[in-house]
């Protein structure tokens, strides 16, 4: 376990160093591309924190991303509200957490687990997208809301203005690094151990005195709050919000990112998100309708060939060589 911790921290440190060095070699456009990919990476890490630790798949995680985005947009577009950016981020996190708390209460305390949970959250994503389309007086309907200002606030005498490429990249990259590190330390500590126990056998965990529904609920709410944060960051950087951001396709894409990167590793999903988005841009540039087809194939291939994600290739190779050495 300690060796695995050291490996994880090593990979994390390498990623941080690469992220720090990247602006030296990249121009403004490349910075914004990686910045947006990192935001989706944060979103993927939020799903992995729940799915990877509890084994329960949430098929509507984009709902929280979209809720965060819409709350951020509505607050910052309203000139009457002071400190728009800071309040917007807080509102987005709180709003997503609140919705997750209600849904989670109904499901976890109602004894809903496994595939039932997956189906209900799938419907939750559909509901959010439908609501965003039909409640057009607030959400702007199909076309969404545009003109969302970049993040700008004063904190402790420091003026933060993220309208430029480099500051916004640094801001996003540090948030992603801090959140991923925090989620990792939560999930490797006692909290994560109890979640693993619940995943293995909920009845036994409950018999040992753990309040399983409450643990699952808190984990779910935390995961949704971070998804809301990612949504809020994204709409400020993109300058617009649309119903797609809470839709089924984004929900499925985030699942692919986690599955490709490796479920339960927190870092893998971030890397998976960045890698797949690069692939998506390349493929879509010569045929846009090919991407969903390839996405579908990736789902099937992962299930049969790489059930533990890309990072597992390393572990497999290692065990292969170890096996060889032992055989000699």
Partner 1 sequence: MDFVVTTLLNALTLISILMLVGLGLAISFGLMNVTNLAHGEFVTVGAFAVYFVQSVGGSFWLGLAAAPIAGAVVGCILEFAIIRHLYSRPVSTVLATWGVSLILQQGLELTFGLGAKPVTPPIEGTFDLFFTVYPAYRLILIAIAMLTLLGVVLLISRTSFGLDIRTVIQNREMAEGVGINTRRTYAIAFTFGAAIAGLAGGLVAPLAIVLPQMGVNYLANAFFVVIVGGVGSIGGLVAGSVFVGGLTSILNYQISPSLAQAIVLLAAIVAVRLRPNGLFNGASR
Report the alpha-carbon distance of residue 255 to residue 260 in Å, rounded. Answer: 8
Candidate ranges 68-76, 210-218, 232-240, 290-298; the one touching partner 1 (CB under 8 A): 290-298
Beta-strand relationship, 158-161 and 152-155: antiparallel
Q: Is residue 101 close enough to count as binding partner 1 by CB under 8 A? A: no
Report the alpha-carbon distance of residue 306 to residue 176 in Å, rounded. Answer: 26
Report the alpha-carbon distance of residue 43 to residue 65 in Å, rounded. Answer: 7
Nearer to partner 1, 16 or 295 (CB): 295
Count residues contacting partner 1 (CB under 8 A)? 44
Q: Is 242 left (phi over 0), alpha (psi -120 to 50) or beta?
A: beta
Q: Is residue 295 close enough to count as binding partner 1 by CB under 8 A? A: yes
Residue from 73, 162, 259, 270 binding partner 1 (CB under 8 A): 259
Q: Is residue 103 close enough to count as binding partner 1 by CB under 8 A? A: yes
Q: Is residue 211 close enough to count as binding partner 1 by CB under 8 A? A: no
Which string of DSSP letters, residue by residue, matches 162-220? --SHHHHHHHHHHHHHHHHHHHHHHHHSHHHHHHHHHHH-HHHHHHTT--HHHHHHHHH
List own/partner pairs for 302-307 with CB under 8 A and 24 or more apart.
Answer: 302/256, 302/259, 302/260, 306/260
Q: Is residue 23 close enough to count as binding partner 1 by CB under 8 A? A: no
Residue from 4, 28, 83, 135 binding partner 1 (CB under 8 A): 135
Q: Is residue 122 close enough to count as binding partner 1 by CB under 8 A? A: yes
Q: Is residue 244 close enough to count as binding partner 1 by CB under 8 A? A: no
Q: Minimal distance in Å, beta carbon 55 to partner 1?
A: 7
Site of interaction with partner 1 (CB under 8 A): 55, 57, 59, 103, 106-107, 109-112, 114-116, 118-120, 122-124, 126-127, 130-131, 133-135, 248, 252, 255, 259, 289-290, 292-293, 295-300, 302-304, 307
């Amino acid at each position: 376990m300690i060796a695995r911790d050291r490996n994880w921290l090593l990979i994390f440190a390498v990623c941080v160093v690469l992220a720090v060095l990247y602006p030296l070699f990249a121009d403004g456009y490349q910075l914004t591309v990686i910045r947006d990919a990192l935001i989706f990476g944060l979103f993927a890490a939020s799903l992995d924190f729940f799915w990877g630790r509890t084994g329960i798949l949430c098929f509507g995680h984009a709902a929280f991303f979209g809720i965060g985005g819409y709350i951020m947009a509505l607050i910052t577009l309203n000139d009457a509200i002071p400190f728009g950016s800071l309040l917007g981020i807080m509102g987005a996190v709180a709003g997503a957490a609140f919705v997750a708390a209600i849904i989670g209460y109904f499901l976890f305390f109602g004894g809903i687990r496994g595939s039932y949970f997956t189906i209900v959250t799938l419907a939750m994503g559909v509901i959010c997208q439908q609501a965003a389309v039909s409640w057009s007086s607030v959400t702007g309907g199909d076309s969404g809301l545009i003109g969302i200002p970049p993040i700008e606030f004063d904190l402790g005498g420091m003026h933060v203005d993220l309208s430029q490429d480099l500051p916004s990249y640094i801001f996003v990259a540090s948030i992603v690094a801090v959140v991923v590190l925090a989620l990792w330390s939560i999930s490797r500590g006692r909290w994560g151990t109890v979640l693993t126990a619940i995943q293995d056998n909920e009845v036994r965990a409950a018999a040992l005195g753990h309040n399983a529904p409450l643990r699952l609920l808190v984990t779910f709410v935390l995961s949704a709050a971070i998804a809301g944060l990612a949504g809020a960051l994204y709409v400020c950087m993109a300058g617009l919000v649309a119903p797609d951001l809470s839709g089924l396709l984004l929900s499925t894409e985030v699942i692919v990112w986690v599955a490709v990167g490796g479920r339960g590793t927190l870092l893998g999903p971030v890397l998976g998100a960045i890698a797949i988005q690069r692939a998506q841009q390349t493929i879509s540039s010569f045929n846009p309708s090919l991407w969903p087809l390839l996405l579908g194939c990736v789902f099937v291939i992962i299930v049969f060939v790489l059930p533990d994600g890309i990072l597992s290739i390393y572990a497999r190779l290692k065990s292969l060589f170890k096996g060889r050495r032992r055989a000699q």
